[in-house]
Amino acid sequence: MAPGAAPDRPPAAAARTLAAMNATDRTPADLLSSALAADPARPLVTFYDDATGERVELSVATFANWVAKTANYLQGDLAAGPGDRLALLLPAHWQTAVWLLACSSVGVVAEVDGDPAAADVVVAGPDRLDAARACSGERVALALRPLGGRFPQPPAGFADFAVEAPGQGDRFAPFVPVDPGAAALVVGGEELTGAGIGARALADAAAAGMPEAPRVLSGLAYDTWQGLSYGLYAPLAAGGSVVLCRHPDRLDADAAAARESSEKITYRATAPH
């Protein structure tokens, strides 16, 4: 079933889901906190890179730990706070998902494929470093190697995330409470609030007919709302999990079908026509 743009008003199914939502679950960070309290051991993000053969599975607890460390790094070492802008120059990847939730935790506005020259912080993958140098603020580089490995040689002018993150604290508390009504995400030229992300993701899950606690397979890029929603926010909001695939075109039909079966996929996200 191809995902479509979320309606301005959630359909009846989405409205019921919203009504059942915990009153404190406003932002993606709130949703992650509730998932952690409910069942920390269940899978949340499973990532495949079919160009390298990498597979990594993160439970709610492991993912939340990465988010806490990243949020502490963002708030502490990088001195970022609510309203600051972070240009996110990363592909659909489990570490990108971590950064998105860390920004939500701190109140930093994550601008997907944002202009580094206009950002307070830039976070870039190995193929986007030249563009990222336009940022006059803090610059962070991710090698995107298996198991979160570091660069063999740190890029000049950048902090290596894989070096900086492990020593950060395992628990996070924002210096300033995050306003759910403040800007939180910019993607495809559209700005969303923290509360807007959660509500729209729930509406997407209901409109798509996702089952309860869905296991979503997504090979969509993170450069559109649909890619972000089906590849992260909707499964999180619906109490489910995502199997995020990079370079899925490298698989033949038999291998793709075998993956769906082994991962117990209950909803497959496809690109819009």
Mean pLDDT confidence for 201-215:
96
Q: What is the pLDDT of residue 25?
A: 67
pLDDT at residue 206 is higher than 70 = yes
Write the pLDDT tens digit of every residue in 121-160. Answer: 999 999 999 999 999 999 999 999 998 999 999 899 999 9
Q: Is residue 10 part of a domain?
A: no
pLDDT at residue 188 is higher than 80 = yes
Write the pLDDT tens digit of every residue in 31-79. Answer: 999 999 999 999 999 999 999 999 999 999 999 999 999 999 999 999 9
Between these two residues, 187 and 26, which has the higher pLDDT value? Answer: 187
pLDDT at residue 19 is higher than 50 = no
pLDDT at residue 256 is higher than 70 = yes
Residue 260 belongs to what domain range? 25-269
Q: What is the pLDDT of residue 228?
A: 98
Q: What is the pLDDT of residue 147?
A: 87
Q: Is residue 110 part of a domain?
A: yes
The pTM score is: 0.91
Mean pLDDT confidence for 199-223:
96
Write the pLDDT tens digit of every residue in 223-244. Answer: 999 999 999 999 999 999 999 9
Q: Is residue 137 part of a domain?
A: yes
Q: Confidence class of residue 270 from pLDDT cuts 50, 70 and 90?
A: confident
Question: Domain of 154: which CATH number?
Answer: 3.40.50.12780
- The chain-wide mean pLDDT, for the chain, equals 91
Q: Is residue 188 part of a domain?
A: yes
Q: Confidence class of residue 271 from pLDDT cuts 50, 70 and 90?
A: low
Q: Is residue 219 part of a domain?
A: yes
Q: Is residue 228 part of a domain?
A: yes
How many domains does the chain contain in total?
Answer: 1
pLDDT at residue 16 is higher than 50 = no
Distance CA 268, CA 235 (A): 11
Write the pLDDT tens digit of every residue in 66-125. Answer: 999 999 999 999 999 999 999 999 999 999 999 999 999 999 999 999 999 999 999 999
Q: Is residue 7 part of a domain?
A: no
pLDDT at residue 273 is higher than 90 = no
Q: Is residue 33 part of a domain?
A: yes
